[in-house]
């Protein structure tokens, strides 16, 4: 299996640290809002990477954090007059719903920065003891970049270029740093902000130290894969390497994987440009499996353009992805029909040959995935298989033949996290009727039935919320 490693800028053979096991860390979102469709890209890509490793028989320890202490979270808390904890708790919950909609499996562990402060203080203390960090007068602790001879190896930047860039950007108030390149490990609290006690001052950790510590705690000092969006290469991942390797005296991650960005109408997605979409927005228009398909239909290291014009059925549009996913599901539904109506028995000789031929698509699928997770080519192999099934399975086929092809299709789509079962479309009117029935059940104190209806709706992707203004619902 080959993986493109940002560290070496090459595709390399994957050799795990421990045979049959993969230790993998993916930087997760900062939880101050609903996740946007850019955040969905690494979630879908690296969930697919994990699924492929598992398909190949690896045991994967997959850790992905939630950054739950951050300026943006604090700003949101102030705006709403609630605590930062309430903000992050709410958006972690919402994020998990979006992940479920996109068929992104929960990580083995989802650590939260605020629960890991002791480990951060410990790592910072070690870095100070070893001379890689120093506290300034106000209690801010900085990492001493010049002490790390390999600093810049991930982003392929050299220290001199970085220094000249930084000198011209010298920020006021930062003159307590020994060197403009030094970055923050711990910072003093400001009025009204969450803080923790530390040997240096009451304060909170810098963002980079969080991931070094959580990765070490849940995966160990040396891991196989560290991943995230390409914007994280510098400074976040570069700084993580500096902290972890200087503290532990070992290489940190062997393979660094980065997805390219998702753009909207060929422009960077941003609130100020008015082209900002949350996963929830898209979920209100499409089954989120369509979004997953859309992401997988491109190579993860190529920029992906999201066309807003839903009328445009060009290759990159969601409409095209919806149509393609429907074609796959129709092929699967045909096979299922034959499973119900076809004659039972064993494969005929001719069918046996065809099943062998169909296994060739699996080989093509694997070849694509082994080549740095080329999901677009893997999907093409799945479509060839679906077409093959459409051609060769007829109403007169036996169930054994339909079953063999269905099994192939199901296994491969499952690696991609695409489900072949179409969620039954549910109309607003049906939802309203079920809600009315639930209300009536509650009134009659038939809570079992009320809960049952809530469950039925959830299965159909409808989440109910009891609010002061009555029951509200949303598609999840
Ligand atoms: P953040 O919450 O900004 O730290 O981002 C969480 C993850 O989403 C990181 O891995 C980012 O690199 C990634 N990400 C953010 N925006 C985009 C985008 N437009 N396209 C692809 N990945 C993104
Ligand atoms: Zn991180």
Show the tokens assigned to 473. 């619902």
Total residue count of the chain as it appears in this document:
476
Distance of CA 261 from the midpoint of ligand 1 (Å): 8
Show the tokens assigned to 44. 């879908």
Averaged pLDDT score across all residues of the chain: 93
135-155 pLDDT per residue, tens: 999 999 999 999 999 999 999
Show the tokens assigned to 311. 């009328």
pTM of the model: 0.88
31-59 pLDDT per residue, tens: 999 999 999 999 999 999 999 999 999 99
Higher pLDDT, 258 or 170: 258
Q: Quickly state the pLDDT bin for 160 (edges 50, 70, 90).
A: confident
Residues with CB under 5 A from ligand 2 (ion): 27, 211
* pLDDT at residue 296, rounded to an integer: 98
10 Å Cβ neighbour count for 414? 14
User: In sequence order, what are the residues at sequence separation of 6 or more whose Cβ sits closer than 8 angstroms to the Cβ of residue 430?
Assistant: none
**Dihedral angle, C-alpha 447, 449, 451, 453, nearest 10 °:** -150
pLDDT over 90, % of the chain: 80
85-106 pLDDT per residue, tens: 999 999 999 999 999 999 999 9
User: In sequence order, what are the residues at sequence separation of 6 or more whose Cβ sits closer than 8 angstroms to the Cβ of residue 414?
Assistant: 51
Distance of CA 31 from the midpoint of ligand 2 (Å): 13
* Residue 119 clears pLDDT 90, i.e. is over it: yes
Query: What 3-state DSSP class applies to 443?
Result: helix
Residue 229 CA: which ligand 1 atom is closest?
A: 12
> 42 CB less than 6 Å from ligand 1?
yes
* Residue 305 clears pLDDT 70, i.e. is over it: yes
User: In sequence order, what are the residues at sequence separation of 6 or more whose Cβ sits closer than 8 angstroms to the Cβ of residue 152?
Assistant: 158, 159, 162, 238
pLDDT over 70, % of the chain: 95
Would you say 102 and 40 are in contact if contact means Cβ atoms under 8 Å apart?
yes
* pLDDT at residue 424, rounded to an integer: 57
- Cα–Cα–Cα angle for 159, 160, 165, nearest 5°? 100
Residue 232 CA: which ligand 1 atom is closest?
A: 12
Query: What 3-state DSSP class applies to 418?
Result: coil
């Amino acid at each position: 299996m080959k993986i493109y490693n940002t560290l070496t800028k090459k595709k390399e053979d994957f050799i795990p640290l421990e045979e049959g096991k993969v230790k993998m860390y993916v930087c997760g979102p900062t939880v101050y809002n609903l996740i946007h469709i850019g955040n969905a890209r690494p979630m879908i890509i690296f969930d697919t990477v994990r699924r492929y490793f598992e398909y190949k028989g690896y045991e994967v320890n997959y850790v992905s954090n939630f950054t739950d202490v951050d300026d943006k979270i604090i700003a949101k808390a102030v705006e709403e007059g609630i605590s930062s904890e309430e903000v992050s708790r709410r958006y972690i919950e919402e994020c998990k719903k979006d992940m479920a909609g996109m068929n992104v499996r929960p990580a083995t562990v989802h650590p939260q920065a605020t629960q890991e402060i002791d480990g951060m203080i410990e790592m910072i203390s070690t870095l100070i003891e070893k001379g890689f960090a120093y506290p300034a007068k106000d209690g801010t602790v900085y990492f001493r970049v010049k002490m790390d001879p390999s600093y810049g190896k991930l982003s392929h930047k050299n220290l001199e270029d970085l220094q000249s860039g930084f000198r011209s950007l010298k920020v006021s108030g930062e003159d307590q740093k020994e060197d403009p390149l030094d970055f923050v490990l711990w910072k003093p609290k400001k009025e009204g902000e969450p803080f923790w006690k530390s040997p240096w001052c009451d304060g909170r950790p810098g963002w980079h130290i969080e991931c070094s510590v959580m990765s070490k705690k849940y995966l160990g000092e040396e891991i196989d894969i560290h991943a995230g969006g390409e914007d994280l290469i510098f400074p976040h991942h570069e700084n993580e390497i500096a902290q972890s390797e200087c503290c532990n005296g070992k290489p940190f991650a062997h393979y660094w994987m980065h997805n390219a960005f998702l753009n909207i109408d060929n422009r960077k997605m941003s609130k100020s440009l008015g082209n900002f979409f949350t996963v929830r927005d898209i979920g209100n228009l499409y089954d989120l499996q369509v979004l997953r398909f859309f992401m997988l239909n491109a190579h993860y290291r190529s920029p992906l353009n999201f066309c807003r014009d839903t009328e445009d059925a060009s290759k990159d549009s969601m409409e095209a992805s919806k149509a393609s996913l429907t074609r796959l599901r129709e092929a699967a539904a045909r096979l299922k029909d034959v499973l119900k109506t076809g004659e039972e028995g064993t494969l005929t000789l001719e069918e046996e040959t065809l099943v062998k031929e169909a296994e060739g698509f699996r080989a093509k699928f694997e070849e694509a995935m082994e080549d740095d997770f080329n999901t677009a080519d893997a999907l093409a192999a799945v479509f060839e298989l679906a077409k093959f099934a459409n051609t060769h399975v007829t109403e007169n086929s036996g169930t054994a033949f339909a079953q063999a092809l269905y099994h192939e299709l199901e296994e491969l789509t499952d690696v991609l996290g695409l489900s072949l079962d179409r969620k039954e479309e549910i109309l607003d009117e049906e939802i309203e009727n079920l809600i009315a029935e639930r209300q009536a059940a509650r009134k009659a104190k038939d809570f079992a039935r009320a809960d049952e209806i809530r469950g039925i709706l959830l299965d159909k992707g409808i989440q109910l919320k009891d609010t002061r203004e009555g029951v509200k619902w949303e598609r999840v």
